Structure 1
């Protein structure tokens, strides 16, 4: 695993000061597909309880997302760790569904090993296509919580909205995995999403076993959800209030299982 410094040339859209640059660590790691992918750790809040493992949307990379990560992490008082999918940015290879799952596994493994985080301090955040690897990982590993931002049920359901079942040729079958998620999930979706219909968010929410109150943004599309004031407020409540409460309840239930009644 190689670590790098972030350098911006004069043409960069965002020119960070030294304070922002000092909180960003860039690294490359190898996936199980033997591809090297880029990762970024944004250390906004060193004492934070949670770190967001952020799987970004399509047609962007870490360079384009870095300013958003700094702003979001600062406002949520969380650290953010993200990665570029195979074939995105400077990551090797090309984008495939199989690579998506190996990419997110490599990112999760890096948080556990290099940064020493336990799974109960990691919040998985997936946006659009990023909800695909997020759901796949959440279905296999219990974490502190999961945020699904404009999720899709499956690839074919995006283009064929009346499809009621998953066919063998369908890609990204997230709707068939969400029932395995054992972590609390918050779903965010705009009601006027022109790319992934609002119905996808409703169905994902309905099929997920452990959920908190969703955020249905009236009038929001696919790419402007973050511009609504409710977006940040709802995330803060999820991270500051609901996740700690869920963890306390789980710990209390675990303690009760070890109580042995006196005869």
Structure 2
């Protein structure tokens, strides 16, 4: 299908979700390429779209003591879920099961992407993990890069009681805000049909929910100011009515006791839009955040009896 016809037919959605309109078949890497065991999972969304996703699981002989939780991963707009497996490997090594969500129209999935459609896709992933006989016993973490960050924020805002932590990387305040920063298109930002209003959703997240924000300071796709605004919004929710759950006390330079926020913002001076995850300190930022809020299970700590995860899958 020619580019002109695609633009005519799909309009704004083609610009926001370019990899969701590629001709099939599309090559999608698998977790086995990263030495991770996995199961192919087919989700069915509320509107009857089938999604082919991956569930990376801890080895059964270690899972009883090692499994810390499940990370639902949401990728960016110009990739498929095979492109975030190197980050999935980090979570896996740290003792987490990983569910990589593949959106409608992406990879080799049916359908075509839209804001409402991707919201349904993410909800299907959340429903699967939160109702699974094994996965539901442990914390759920939601991770998203770029567009995936907007999806992660959205699904977390609608399922806050089920989520133990949120991690977002190089994402935006909203699609109209992105358009406002473009030389010519800024004048028609009000016409955006795909909005992804992340800033307003972050403001509604519980103060007790730990959030990690990862920002590349030379991102030329999503200007870093978007992450700065999201960070300020995340911090401002701590002062609104709700009593925030703060982390451990720390000593300031003058000896006063201060309470450290459960949220964390980490910037990477040489981080580009897609290259932030390759920067020194990236892995450590995630590891420290998770250790702080979802610590590893100690050798002497009892975990609930678990059935084998493969046997528990539909």
Question: TM-score normalized by structure 1?
Answer: 0.78
1:35 aligns with 2:69: no
1:89 corresponding residue in structure 2: 107
- For structure 2, the residue ranges without an aligned partner over 5 or more in a row are 1-26, 239-261, 296-314
CA offsets 1:188-215 (integer angstroms, 9 cap, x no match): 1111101000000000111113652211
Verify: 1:212 aligned to 2:230, yes or no. Answer: no
After superposition, residues 213-232 of structure 1 pair within 5 angstroms as 213-232=264-283
- Are 1:241 and 2:267 counterparts? no
CA distance in 2, matches of 1:241, 1:77: 14
- CA distances 1:56-97 after superposition (whole Å, capped 9, x unpaired): 11222233434x155323433322111111100122100100
Distance 2:58 2:80 in 1: 19
Q: Tell me the secondary structure at the aligned position of residue 189 of structure 1.
A: strand
Measured in 1, the distance between the counterparts of 2:58 and 2:71 equals 11
Counterparts of residues 1-263 of structure 1 (less than 5 Å)? 16=32, 20=35, 23-44=37-58, 46=63, 47-66=66-85, 68-69=86-87, 71-118=89-136, 121-142=139-160, 143-161=163-181, 169=192, 171-182=195-206, 183-208=209-234, 209=237, 212-243=263-294
User: Take 2:91 and 2:168, find their aligned partners in 1: how far apart are those partners?
Assistant: 17
Q: Relative to structure 1, is the Cα distance of residues 78 and 53 closer, same or farther in structure 2, using a 3 angstrom cutoff?
A: same
Supply the distance in 2 between the matched residues of 1:13 and 1:54 (Cα, whole angstroms). 15
Q: State the structure with more CA Rg.
A: 2
RMSD: 2.8
- Is the 8 Å Cα contact of residues 184 and 243 (structure 1) preserved in structure 2? no
TM-score by length of 2: 0.66
Q: CA, structure 1 residues 180+95, in 2 after alignment: closer, same or farther (shift >3 Å)?
A: same
Q: Deviations over 1:158-181 (max 9, x none)?
A: 121398xx9584611111111111
Distance 2:31 2:205 in 1: 39
Q: CA deviation at 1:228?
A: 1.3
Runs of 4+ in 1 over 6 A off after TM superposition: 11-15
* Structure possessing the higher relative contact order (Cα contacts under 8 Å, 6 or more residues apart): 2
CA distance in 2 between counterparts of 1:129 and 1:12 reads 19
**CA distance in 1 between partners of 2:156 and 2:272 (Å):** 26
How many residue pairs are counted as aligned between the two chains?
A: 230
Residue 128 to residue 157, structure 1, CA distance change in 2 (3 Å):
same
Secondary structure of the residue aligned to 1:81 is strand
